[in-house]
Each structure stands twice: as C-alpha cells, then as structure tokens.
Amino acid sequence: LQKSLNETFGADKYSEARKEVLTNMFSRPMQMALYFCTGVLEDETLFRHYALNVPFYTHFTSPIRRYADVMVHRLLSASLGASSPIKMEKEAIQRQADHCNDRKMASKRVQELSADLFFSIFVRVKA
C-alpha cells in the first residue's frame, strides 16, 4: 500500500500530505488493540494477534511512554521471578487495562478530530 501511494501521488509539495491523509483514512476502520488481563478472559482465542497470526501475543514498549507499558513490565518481571509478585487482584488489573483502553480511544478520537479540523480549514483557505 505504501509503495502504491508513493507512486500515485508524485513529488509535488502536497504529495506527502495527500499520502498521509489517505493512509490515515485506510487505517481508521482497523480494530484497535486492547489491553486486557489474561486472568479475566477465559477465551484464549482472544489472546491471538490477527496480523502476525500467533496464538499468544504481548505488546509493550519502553515503560517511560505509557502506564500500560509500566504495568506489563511489572507483571512480566514478577512472572519471571525477577521481582516480587504484584499485589493486585486480576479484576483490579483489568480495571486498569480498561482505563488505559478508554484513554487510548479518547486520545485517538481527539487526534482524528484535530486532523479533520485541520483538513477543513485547509480546504476553506484553498477554495
């Protein structure tokens, strides 16, 4: 898709903007990944990563970025015996995951609305 977009939109001063807008529009319908506590979900098929086609998947980045990553690092460290066990019930962990999901979705929605506003202003100015 990226190669096709690069070839289609040429090299004028707006080509990058057109490509970025369409890439954003193509990715909007994709289902967002959700954080969850595995001890709460009994259906292990929900642990699967669709695009990678693997049955069990955990994603995290540097714990300085998001609280969800801090939680994953702590839980992984405890499960490997590198730190003391987490003193949280699985339902409490799931509530934290739900809160992280809510904040992530709200952030994504604000980002989309901001892009829509910018595009509207851009079209109005150029009209």
Residue 47 per-residue DSSP state? G
Q: Do residues 97 and 35 make contact, with C-beta atoms less than 8 angstroms apart?
A: yes
pLDDT at 29: 61
Written as six digits, the tokens of 27 are 């990715």
Lowest mean pLDDT among 39-53, 72-86, 99-113: 39-53
Indicate the domain borders of the chain. 31-126
pLDDT tens digit string along 3-49? 776 677 777 888 888 777 777 777 666 667 788 888 888 888 878 87
Q: Is 71 exposed, middle or buried (0-12, 13-18, 19+ CB in 10 A)?
A: buried
